[in-house]
Chains A and B, each alone.
Chain A
Amino acid sequence: MSGARPSALGAQLDLLAFALGALGRRGGRTWALVGGLASAMALLSAVVFLTEALRAEAARARANAPDLVVQRLVGGRPALVDVASAEALRPLPGVASVRPRVWGYLFLASLQGNVTIVGGSGAPAAGAPGGAPPADGGAALAQGVMLRGPGECVLGLRLAEALGVRVGDKVAFPAAGGDEHGPGTALRVVGLFSSPVALWTSDVALVHDDDARTLLGVPPGAATDLALALTNPDESAVVAKKTLLALPGARVLERRLLERVHTLSYGRRAGFVLGASLPALLALLALAWDRLSGLGPAERREIAVLKAAGWSTADVVAEKLYEALLVGAGAGALGLVAGYLWAFALGAPGLREVLAGWSVLYPDTRLTPAVDAAQLFGLLALVTAPYLALSVGPAWRAATLDPLEAMRQG
């Protein structure tokens, strides 16, 4: 240690600085350990970052979903619902509005994929669930205007790209039943959804209710489902029960439960990936243990010199633990940054397909990070803590070396 007797904090900083220097002197071994631990951390953190980002994205739109969606089931499958049944729900206490919705899927052979056709009235009541946005469309549109009436459509960016159309063009959709050669429906593109909403709208064609009926073959008087807005969303469970009494056999979906669905769904997928990568992490820690346990001749000589120069056993143990802390925390931080860049800067290649899903009209938008300090430090502890724990035994063994014996062997 340095000439004047240092304070306790100063002594620890000296040990930390010495540990950094010692790691530098064994550069090859240090970088091998840092590289291995950082790779494991990058994988773990990328999975967690991506999962949390997906949950957060799903939550962003959830606030604007209907409080309840009522479907009709036939043989366990969703079937068209009678628009007149909306009248049975409107008088229920707590129901603010009921909107029959027409939406569905249309297979486009040219894309080899489904397009989601969503009907909108063009002039919905303010705040009505499932209604089209206000006429100006706001920032939801990259170009053009929002739907004004029949014969028009607003397309998702990815869908418009795939079809090769722009605002002002006409796009021909096949007739109901998927007859590509039959008389289709031509709609003028009046707007394109903007990229910030591409995660929700990339495969969507927003059309007038009448056009949606034509495209999907939904007869007048029928709808895909009913969207309910409640005066108090906290009463959704009560209103759901009353809805089931009013419409026996209906299926009622609560927005409140959707949060649980998204959390479980993404959490389960992340669990699969993390479970598969656990053996790799354990193998890495076993390798680290092996590396830490073996003291080379140079290291033995160094410890012998330090003890001969007056270092106590506690000093050597502390120095060795600081080495482990620097390697573990440094590798962890490096892995965190790598995982972050993998997930958000590069778009998580190799992981996104497993965790996020697939689609023919896949949105190009990058996911938004939804991490907080607790997550970051929790992840860091996940790798650093086991590594530190593993290093205690080897540090003690190194510290209890007899200096004379070590000198002779070295």
Chain B
Amino acid sequence: MSGRARLAAPCLLAAALAAPLPLALHARAARAADAPAIARAAAALPWPDLALGGGARHLRFLSLEEPAAAFADGPAVVDADPAGGSLAPPAAVWAESAAPKP
């Protein structure tokens, strides 16, 4: 076996394994620059829940809104997994239930 052939396999493996690390380090470093902005904006919000889900009854701050959900662990304890966690309600039902009634 030539010396180059003997090194090819371990080098290829090491390069593949290390590939995600610089990507992750770069992204995290870039994100660190946003920390002051997040701190300022978060201080103005009711709670740090992410603006990603509508949640049961179409509410935004799930952790604040579901005191009687099935997963609550006890009195004065926030809910572990508010209902409606993984599937969105149909948009038509959403609009119908939230639209003003005559």
Measured between beta carbons, the chain A residues less than 8 angstroms from B88 are 353, 358
Interface code A91-118, partner B: CB below 8 Å = 1, 0 otherwise? 0000000000101010101001110101
Q: Which residues of A contact B91 (CB under 8 A)?
A: 112
Contacts of B100 in A (CB 8 A): 107, 109, 174, 177-180
CB within 8 A of B20: which of A20, A177, A340?
A340
The complex places the Cα of A322 from the Cα of B19 at a distance, in Å, of 22
Residues on B with C-beta less than 8 A from A20 are: 5, 8-9
| Docked complex Cα distance between A64 and B32 (Å) | 16
- A-contact 0/1 string along B1-31, CB 8 Å cutoff: 1000111111011001101110110011001
> Which B residues are CB-close (under 8 A) to A203?
51, 60
Of the residues B38, B49, B59, B67, contact of A251 by C-beta under 8 Å:
B67
CA gap between A61 and B64 in the complex, in Å: 15
Task: Evaluate contact between A201 and B6: CB separation under 8 angstroms.
Answer: no
- Cβ of A37 < 8 Å from any Cβ of B? no
The reply to whether the CB of A326 lies closer than 8 angstroms to some CB of chain B is: yes
The closest CB in chain B to the CB of A127 belongs to B43
Are B9 and A109 closer than 8 Å at their CB atoms?
no
Contact A200 B51 (CB under 8 A): yes
Question: Which residue in chain B gives the minimum CB-CB distance to A360?
Answer: B54
Q: Look across to chain B and name the residue whose beta carbon is closest to the beta carbon of A370.
A: B28
* CB interface residues, B 52-102, toward A, < 8 Å: 52-55, 58-61, 63-65, 67-68, 76-82, 85-86, 88, 91, 94-95, 98-100
A103 and B49 CA atoms in complex are apart in Å by 14
Q: A133–B36 Cα gap in the complex (Å)?
A: 11
User: Does A190 reach chain B (CB closer than 8 Å)?
Assistant: no
Q: Do A133 and B60 touch (CB < 8 A)? A: no
A58 contacts B28, CB within 8 Å?
no
Which chain B residues border A357 with CB–CB below 8 Å?
50, 52-55, 85
Q: Is the CB of B8 within 8 A of A60?
A: no
Pair B40/A137 contact, Cβ less than 8 Å? yes
A200 CA / B77 CA spacing, docked (Å): 23
B41 touches A200 (CB 8 A): yes
Q: Please pick, from B1, B54, B67, B86, the residue contacting A14 in the complex, using a CB distance under 8 A.
A: B1
A359 within 8 A of B: yes
Number of A-B contacts (CB under 8 A): 262
For B51, give its contact among A137, A199, A370 (CB under 8 Å).
A199
Q: Which of A120, A224, A253 contacts B63 (CB 8 A)?
A: A253
CB proximity of A324 to chain B, nearest CB, Å: 13
Q: Are B60 and A131 in contact (CB under 8 A)?
A: no
Asked if B86 and A264 make an inter-chain contact with CB atoms under 8 angstroms apart, the answer reads no
Complex interface: chain A residues within 8 A of B34 (CB): 139, 196-197
- Return chain B residues, CB-CB under 8 Å to A353: 88
Given A253-B63, A340-B20: A54 in contact with B44 (beta carbons within 8 A) = no
> Roughly how many angstroms separate A184 CA and B36 CA in the complex, as a whole number?
35
Q: How does the 8 Å CB contact mask read for A220-264 relative to B, with 1 for contact and 0 for none?
A: 000011010000000000001000100000011110011011001
* Cα–Cα, bound, A267→B82 (Å): 13
CB distance from B82 to the nearest CB of A (A): 8
In the complex, which residue of chain A has the Cβ closest to the Cβ of B61?
Answer: A116
Interchain CB contact (< 8 A) of B36 among A116, A138, A200: A138
**Interface residue from B19, B27, B95 paired with A344 (Cβ < 8 Å):** B27
CB nearest neighbor in B for A13: B6
Please tell me which one of the listed residues A112, A196, A240 contacts residue B94 in the complex, with CB atoms under 8 A apart.
A112
By a CB distance below 8 angstroms, the chain B residues around A391 are: none
Cβ-defined contact, A139 with B50, below 8 A:
no
CB distance from B91 to the nearest CB of A (A): 6
Nearest opposing residue in chain A for B5, CB measure: A17
On chain A, the residues within 8 Å of B44 by CB distance are 118, 120, 130-133, 206
Chain B residues whose CB sits within 8 angstroms of the CB of A260 once the complex forms: 80
Q: Identify the A interface with B (CB < 8 A).
A: 1-2, 10, 13-14, 16-21, 54, 57-58, 60-65, 69, 71, 73, 76-78, 101, 103, 105, 107, 109, 112-114, 116, 118, 120, 129-134, 137-140, 156, 174, 177-180, 193-194, 196-204, 206, 224-225, 227, 240, 244, 251-254, 257-258, 260-261, 264-265, 268-269, 272, 322, 326, 329-330, 333-334, 336-337, 340, 344, 353-354, 356-363, 368-373, 376-377, 380
Chain B residues at the A interface, C-beta cutoff of 8 Å: 1, 5-10, 12-13, 16-17, 19-21, 23-24, 27-28, 31, 34-55, 58-61, 63-65, 67-68, 76-82, 85-86, 88, 91, 94-95, 98-100
A-B contacts besides A118-B44, A370-B28, 11 pairs, CB < 8 Å: A1-B1, A61-B41, A64-B39, A69-B46, A78-B65, A116-B51, A133-B40, A199-B50, A330-B13, A333-B16, A337-B16
